[in-house]
Homo-oligomer: A and B are copies of this chain.
């Protein structure tokens, strides 16, 4: 029995198929024989299940070191493949014809105890180096396996969460407010604004006056006619753009979208995020912990895995879920499309 590297596949005979596919889920069956991806052959070499793979072009026998050093296989893929095998999974390279829906994944991982002959899929995994930027738009239905510079692997599960809450507030209109520097002050705030709507932060805890609003809160409220500020909502948005540029418009869109879904966004500054959110606010007296941390990004953002690790680790540490709001260009109705992306640590 010999395994032969031919281009981007490694071929074996029916004996190889019995040993490696039938009993341990390596490769893909083709005309009675076995076809392996080079990453699978590398793992068999690493384990000592085979001594060498013959290179069809040169005729040479390749051992693990030689195959790993060749262009046929990436060391990132080999490390992730090995780690998942070590964790007790069978998995298939996501090649056309080998698995359903191979796009966007490097490996399809089966539930423990199952394999390529079953239907179920546990994870669709993309294997990347920590130095590979990842386009946010490509995430949401796969697990990122990130190999760090010291070859340790961390897994990040990505999904598209439903964001919603039950907060509703009847707001007054025409409340006088001053734009001061990069915040807005309401000198005689109706109690409902802060107490029920959780808008702003009182300067004086006892009198709850004046109420300090962020530019985002004030812009949203002025846009709804709740606040009466010199220059109107436009003056506030203008001020926001001066201090934050386009980012202010993206954040304001996400703020409005969250409020529209019954969720209260408050600043996420202390967590280095744009917002923390409360899904079910009845009164500020009975606030629970915030559930989400939200970072607002343009839809074409590419993540550095290191930055992603930082956000996800922090959110995990404070028992919140990390959600990215990906803001696309404005649509015909003037409101931009927002895609919600959740990223969480995963131990497969």
Chain A interfacial positions (CB closer than 8 Å to B): 65, 68-69, 74-76, 79, 82, 129-131, 146, 148-152, 154, 178, 180-183, 185, 187, 200-201, 203, 210, 212-217, 243-244, 266-267, 269-273, 305-307, 309-311, 313-314, 317-318
Contacts and interface: CB of A to CB of B under 8 A. Distances in A.
30 contacts: A65-B185, A65-B210, A69-B178, A74-B181, A75-B180, A75-B181, A76-B181, A129-B182, A131-B243, A149-B182, A149-B183, A149-B215, A149-B269, A151-B183, A152-B201, A152-B267, A152-B269, A152-B270, A154-B270, A269-B306, A270-B309, A271-B310, A272-B306, A272-B307, A272-B310, A272-B313, A310-B310, A310-B311, A313-B318, A317-B318
Contact of A309 (B201, B216, B271): B271
Contact of A201 (B76, B150, B267, B273): B150
B306 A148 contact: no
Contacts of A267: 148-150, 152
A147 to B, nearest CB: 8
Nearest to A242: B131
B150 A214 contact: yes
Contact of A313 (B129, B244, B270, B307): B270
Contacts of A180: 68-69, 75
Contacts of A129: 181-182
A327 to B, nearest CB: 18
A151 B306 CA distance: 30
- Choose among A76, A180, A318 the residue with the greatest number of B CB atoms under 10 Å from its CB: A180
Given A75-B183, A79-B203, A150-B217, 20 more contacts: A65-B178, A68-B185, A129-B181, A131-B243, A131-B244, A148-B267, A149-B183, A149-B267, A150-B212, A150-B214, A150-B266, A152-B267, A269-B305, A269-B309, A272-B307, A272-B313, A310-B311, A313-B314, A314-B314, A317-B317
Nearest to A149: B214
Contacts of A152: 201, 267, 269-270
A212 B76 CA distance: 12
Contacts of A244: 131
Number of identical protomers: 2
A152 B201 CA distance: 8
Nearest to A47: B204
Nearest to A317: B317
A130 B182 CA distance: 10
Nearest to A65: B187
A16 to B, nearest CB: 24
A318 B314 CA distance: 9
A133 to B, nearest CB: 11
A266 B148 CA distance: 11
Contacts of A271: 309-310, 313
Closest 7 CB pairs of A and B: A272-B310, A148-B269, A317-B317, A149-B214, A151-B212, A150-B267, A314-B314
Nearest to A305: B269
A143 to B, nearest CB: 16
A225 to B, nearest CB: 22
- Choose among A152, A266, A270 the residue with the greatest number of B CB atoms under 10 Å from its CB: A270
Contacts of A183: 75, 149, 151
